[in-house]
Structure 1
Amino acid sequence: MVLTTDVPTREEFARRASELVPVLRKHAAWAEENRRIHEESIEALADAGIFKLRVPVRYGGYECDTRTLVDVASELGRADGSTSWVASVYWIPTWMTCMFPDQVQDEVFSTPDVRICGTLSPTAMAAPVDGGIVVNGKWGFISGALHSHWQVVVAILVGGEGEPMPIIAVVPISELQIVDDWHTSGLKGTGSVSTIAQDVFVPAERWLPLPVVLQGQSTSPANADRPIYRAPLLPVASASSVGTTIGLAKGAMETFLERLPERKITYTGYSSQAEAPLTHLQVADAAMKIDEAEFHAHRLAALVDGKGAEGASWTLEERARARADMGAVCKLAKEAVDVLNTASGGGSIYSHVPIQRIARDIQAVNLHALMHPNTNAELYGRVLCGLEPNTLYI
């Protein structure tokens, strides 16, 4: 066990992420074509410490706050949405693992630069057996599974005493079957394949009731007083996810401006697109939407980090607003990309022009069940109207 006392600053991590942009961009087209992150990109992320951002200090990690995650993912997303998405996804199950007993963490975090994928969908069944449970089922959309060491799975435990109960477990990825079914229009490089458990035994210490993790009720004495592990899961997951969308929007702006000096507006009198008032309005509109998206992302991160530092309890409205902020970031970032994509002209549909990949990636993010702007806005409005939430995922 290693104790890390010299944790880099948020600015240092953002700088490291920015320095990864060239190598991630170099492999972005390869990742999309091969439907997985390039090994060199994985190695670069590991060398920069990206996989350790949510790992406890006692295991050589950094226990970074969520504002750091937003800024790092934003830099990664400028280069490649799929790579940034996978890095962000790893941060969330890593945090979830920190809710488990210390002996489980000792096992999981014994692997250097451990990568943990996962899901919150209870699409499997579990049954009690001596010493633990046996799990059978299938999970989809498992981003980063192809490069993972462990997977956090969710199942419905049936049998024994009491009613059926959703549970969460930590399972070595080597004990699961991987189904190569990731053939999609967006976020192709994430390798978000399906995984299957067939009579997988999970020791008793490696599963918990799902509500324990959703509420951020750590069973780890070592993590009990650590600020980043004192929050409900959904606000944590929300703040961990949004940086990628901001990065995609910023990447769209960068690629648009790079192409702008050489472009005209065909079939008009404008020999330079940069001189057209329409272009000025479009660029300003997209820039303001990116600024607004950053506001919601930073407000969300400040809420999560502030509550954790204070050890304060969360109100229902705050938890609903966390999801609403996430949805707002996704919506605004997509709107910015849509504006820039529309302004990019017919030549932008060639596969070597990044804007077409960015547009498909941001669309895919906005369709994610937990990130969908409409779903999150409805939940927030429901709570503001004095109604109980109609979901456990808050």
Structure 2
Amino acid sequence: MTNEPPTHPELVQRARDLVPLIQKFAGWSEENRRVHDEVIDAMSDAGIFRMRTPARYGGYECDTRTLAEVATELARGDGSAAWVASVHWIPTWIASLFPAEVQAEVFADPDVRICGTLSPTAMAAAAPGGVVVNGKWGFITGAIHSQWQEIIAVQVGPDREPAPIVALVPMSDLQIVDDWQTSGLRGTGSVSTIAQDVFVPQQRIIPLGAAIQGLTGAGGTDGAIYRAPLLPVASASSAGTTLGLAKAAYAAFLERLEGRRITYTDYTSQQEAPLTHLQVAEAATKIDQAEFHVHRLTSTVDTKAARAHLWTLEERVRARADMGAAVRLAREAVDILADASGGSSIFTDVPIQRIRRDIQALSLHALMHPDTNAELYGRILCGQPPNTQYL
């Protein structure tokens, strides 16, 4: 890499160039339940992990449209590799909200990999100069290859109401539990981590509420990408992987189409069957619709951030709704193509079966679940208050 930040097209092309390598190791990553080291190194060399690192630490401060397009390309190779990159972008953005001294420590390596969570499944007790944390977090994507984890804990004390906090902790302070035995996204290595009497200094702690709102200019970081609330940022950072999986399924289906027949029918060519035409057309249309929602989401986040506009409640919720709609449409497209792929597609060397399991796993993510996000959007449209603080 040169010292000059790459342009948007250059970063997307770098991701596109990685696809053959990512595809090469996709089976290995699934079997070993972690992204292959060679893929991690290649993504690091391409600058994938510094896309949300502040510019003053050698990062690119990419907008979310670039994130989505890069993730889409990576997911054409392997959904797990793309998801690992997407998840790293979110805690990296959160780390940029911390004081300058913390950022200097965390971003000493501009390619630092930070894993994290938004679930407050630990407790924090006040201690001189900070807090002591005990607890366990699940679904920590990319923990195996990370140097830091962004954690959420509920701070309690005799003189304060319990309140969730966000903290940054070196991975060396945490225990990793190798419990990632799943049917989908197996290659993400989304293991659990445990804190046992881990001391966190006060400067590495901020209130969760402040992180959700976004802290413009915190720690001297005042780029446009930091002028947005956390949940729209997280939604836009995540959506590209979904779209990429659908595009991967479409390409995988067409690659196997020529020369295939439809067994136990008179069709000697699946390619000539009207049923296939309808299936491909419907899947392609759903992928186009998913892409619309991804682009509207990223455009909203980037435009409002660039203009430093305040977010309305409806806009915040629509960000989650757009992400949910993209997930639903992409999953439906993959299901159509997988259903049309025949019995031979269940063999593990046929990519579409892995793609289908990966996108199903992604659609079950608590923040990406289509029904959860649609219901929340409907509540707001009907004049009801939100039933979550994750907006």
Distance (Å, rounded) in 1 between the aligned partners of 2:326 and 2:142: 23
Which SS does the other structure have where 1:23 is aligned?
Answer: helix
* Structure 2 match to 1:299: 296
From 166, 169, 185, the equivalent of 1:168 is 166
Q: Contact 1:100 / 1:219 at 8 angstroms: preserved in 2?
A: no
Partners of 1:388 and 1:291 in 2: CA distance: 32
Q: Secondary structure at the match of 1:164?
A: strand
The equivalences for 1:266-305 within 5 A come to 266-305=263-302
The gaps in structure 1 that reach 5 residues or longer are none
Given candidates 91, 94, 99, the residue that maps to 1:93 is 91
CA deviation vs aligned residue, 1:21-59 (integer Å, no higher than 9, x gap):
000000000000000000000011011100010001101
Which ranges of 4 or more aligned residues in structure 1 deviate by more than 3 Å? none
CA distance in 2, matches of 1:76, 1:139: 26
TM-fit CA distance, 1:7: 2.3
Alignment of 1:49-60 (within 5 A): 49-60=47-58
Counterpart Cα distance in 1 of 2:170 and 2:259: 51
Structure 2 equivalent of residue 310 of structure 1: 307
Deviation of the 1:220 alpha carbon: 2.0
Deviations 1:124-149 (A, max 9, x none): 00000001000000000000000000
Structure 2 match to 1:372: 369
Deviations 1:76-112 (A, max 9, x none): 0000000000000000000000111111000000024
Contact kept, 8 Å, 2:97 with 2:211, in 1: the verdict is yes
Distance 1:317 1:49 in 2: 34
Partner in structure 1 of residue 184 of structure 2: 186
Q: CA deviation at 1:160?
A: 4.7
Match of 2:320 in 1: 323
Q: How big is each residue's C-alpha offset from its partner over 1:318-347, in whole Å with a ceiling of 9 and x where there is no partner?
A: 000000000001000000000000000000
Measure how far apart 1:262 and its partner are.
2.4
Give the alignment partner of residue 253 of structure 1, picking from 218, 236, 250. 250
Residue of structure 1 in register with 2:197 after alignment = 199
- TM-aligned CA distance change 1:303 to 1:112, over 3 Å: closer
2:96–2:219 Cα contact (<8 Å) kept: no
Q: TM-score, normalised by structure 2?
A: 0.98
* Superposed CA RMSD: 1.0
Partner of 2:57, secondary structure, is coil
Provide the residue aligned with 1:238 in structure 2.
Answer: 235
Partner of 1:353: 350
Asked if 1:338 corresponds to 2:335, the answer is yes
Query: How far apart, CA to CA, are the structure 1 residues paired with 2:310 and 2:369?
Result: 26
- Residues 80-159 of structure 1 mapped to structure 2, 5 A cutoff: 80-159=78-157
Q: CA deviation at 1:218?
A: 4.3
What letter corresponds to residue 297 of structure 1 in structure 2? V
Query: 2 CA distance for matches of 1:160 and 1:221?
Result: 30
Counterpart-to-counterpart distance in 1, 2:35 and 2:259: 32
> Equivalents in 1 of 2:3, 2:300: separation in Å?
25
TM-score of the two chains, using structure 1 as the length reference: 0.98
- The CA deviation at 1:267 is 0.6
SS at 1:27's partner residue?
helix
The answer (yes or no) to whether the contact 1:98–1:218 under 8 Å persists in 2 is no
What is the Cα deviation at residue 221 of structure 1? 3.9
> Helix, strand or coil for the counterpart of 1:73?
helix
With over 3 angstroms needed to count, the CA separation of the structure-2 counterparts of 1:172 and 1:219, relative to structure 1, is farther
Q: Secondary structure at the match of 1:21?
A: helix
| Residue of structure 1 in register with 2:387 after alignment | 390
Q: State the shift of 1:9 in Å.
A: 1.8
8 Å CA contact 1:117, 1:150 repeated in 2:
yes
Decide whether the 8 Å contact of 1:101 with 1:219 is kept in 2: no
2:301 corresponds to which letter in structure 1? V
Shift of 1:304: 0.3
Contact kept? 2:50, 2:110, Cα under 8 Å? no
Distance 2:337 2:205 in 1: 46
| Maintained 8 Å contact 1:128/1:160 | no
- Supply the AA of the counterpart residue of 1:264: R
Q: CA-to-partner distance for each residue in 1:2-28, whole Å, 9 max, x for gaps?
A: xx9832221111111000000000000
Q: 2:28 aligns with which of 27, 30, 34?
A: 30
Structure-2 separation of matches of 1:197 and 1:176: 5
Please name the residue that 1:44 is paired with.
42
